[in-house]
Amino acid sequence: MVDLKRVFIKGGILSPSELKQILNYATALGLDSLHFGSRQDIIFPEHPKNTAIDNQFPELSTSMISDTEFDNLVCSYVSADIFTNTSWLSGVTYLYILESFKYQPKLKVNITDPKQELVPIFNGELNFIASENEDYWYLHLILPNWEKPVYYPVLIYSWDISKIAKTIEDIYKDADDIHELFTLVNDIVETNNRTIEAPLKIAFKPFPYYEGMNKMGINQYWLGLYWRNNRYYLDFLKEFCDFCLDNRVGKICITPWKSIIVKGIPKTSKLMLEKLLGKSGINVRHSLLELNWHLPVNDDEALTLKKFIVQNFDQNDISTYGLTFAISNSSDKRKYFTSIVIEKNNAPKIVKDYQVRPTYNVLYCENFNPNTQKYIVYAQDVDKIEVSGLLMELSKNYFNQFGNEITDDETDKAPEIIVKKEAHQCQECLTVYSETYGDQKNNVAAGTLFKDLNTTFKCSVCDAPITSFQLIEI
């Protein structure tokens, strides 16, 4: 990543005209393609600085293209309205929150819905995770130099997210623990926090299929686009931007899986888009074996290994439904967010002058659930030829326990408490008289006890006399 130029796109959301400006910049540099990063950013191959070209794109060269000191905001807007989501959390809410970030974060900030699987929840340093309380978020912190991840002791209000993130970034080095950090933040900024009523629980769900043309409501579609070589060619993307502009498609979203999702495509434009994809030779029907991989950017060796493994899966007719994979260099300090990881080992220094075959470690998440962030070593120092077989073993282990693992929704569940109440029920039609609500039809006020009812009271449903009501236990 040090050798690549990054363009930060807040939350991976940009308009077709903004993307087209970036494409024109890349074309001016003599490039024919670009890459997407795991933090929903756009990445260029390294190129010599060209002041003349930079001057033609002042906004990009001064504010969007940045160095490794800063990081991109990640959010799950890309999943909103097309995958399962928290009921109160709409795409508009994400946009307002992202707009409130008036600074470029140095810490990794994730803003995610725990009910979706497409965008990783815990691979940031400040992870804001939607709660069931409208406009309130859990904050999970994995701060540099802190020994363990911790949760902030209160829920964060949506419109406080950016200022709390900025304050924590400024002062976290002065705090020894979460309680001291909480006190320091409250001394600096006014917030609208809320008490945490229950700990965050995230149920495990299989990874979704996110490619192709899919229905979105009644009159719209969404499209997922993926290239197996992780290179997105400028000529097609320019045509695609023109299609979006001509058909009033307002947003293009980048996923952490090096792919694009576009929502809100009018039903009347579906045929036009299919023609564009077809004439450009774009395949939108890849196997799930292809889609659920995360690879380092611009790494041909990792891409070759992935193709080798996928080919072996295909030849053996293996299913990987619900699983996700990553290939990484073991010296890479980034946080994983897949079910299974293949780590390439660095060659020992003693043989640095000789050509040796690389070896790999295979790791998998506890219960194959990336949200646990607990990786278990399955095999160490194995040859490339062995990796496919080990992954097939792991996939079978996954399906053997599939559905049997305890989900977060089932753990720490409080025992059911049954509250019994006395009530009076009509024996003719089984209508129950509620002392809490009274009987509006009979002009009986709420809170009136049964014993205080007039003797002329009749059942509001069947007109049975008051003597038809008997005491029961509910």
Q: Residue 411: what pLDDT?
A: 38
For the segment 311-326, what is each residue's pLDDT rounded down to a tens digit? 999 888 888 888 999 9
CATH 2.20.28.10 intervals, the chain: 422-473
CATH 3.90.480.10 intervals, the chain: 5-70+206-286
CATH number of 5-70+206-286: 3.90.480.10
Band (408; pLDDT cuts 50, 70, 90): very low
Closest by Cα among 119, 118, 153, 120 to 139: 153
7 forms beta bridges with: 42, 65
Backbone torsions φ then ψ of 41, nearest 5 degrees: -110, 175
Give the Cα-Cα-Cα angle 144, 149, 150 (nearest 5 degrees). 115
Architecture of the domain whose range is 289-401: 2-Layer Sandwich (3.30)
User: Could you tell me if 470 and 427 are in contact, meaning their C-beta atoms sit under 8 angstroms apart?
Assistant: yes
Instruction: Give the pair of three-digit tokens for residue 236.
Output: 């097609």
**Topology, domain 422-473:** Rubrerythrin, domain 2 (2.20.28)
What is the pTM for the complete model shown? 0.79
CATH 3.30.413 intervals, the chain: 289-401
6 forms beta bridges with: 43, 66
Give the Cα-Cα-Cα angle 241, 247, 252 (nearest 5 degrees). 45
Single-letter residue type at 363: L
pLDDT over 60 (residue 127): yes
pLDDT over 80 (residue 29): yes
For the segment 411-470, what is each residue's pLDDT rounded down to a tens digit? 344 344 344 567 788 887 778 887 877 887 888 888 888 888 888 888 887 888 888 888
* 431: number of Cβ within 10 Å: 18
Cα separation of the two ends of the chain:
65
CA 108 to chain centre: 14
Kindly report the average pLDDT of the chain as a whole number.
Answer: 85
Instruction: Give the pair of three-digit tokens for residue 256.
Output: 């952490």
CA 470 to chain centre: 55
Instruction: Give the pair of three-digit tokens for residue 49.
Output: 């600085």
Cα(239)–Cα(267) distance, integer angstroms: 19
What residue has token string 């569940």? Answer: 413
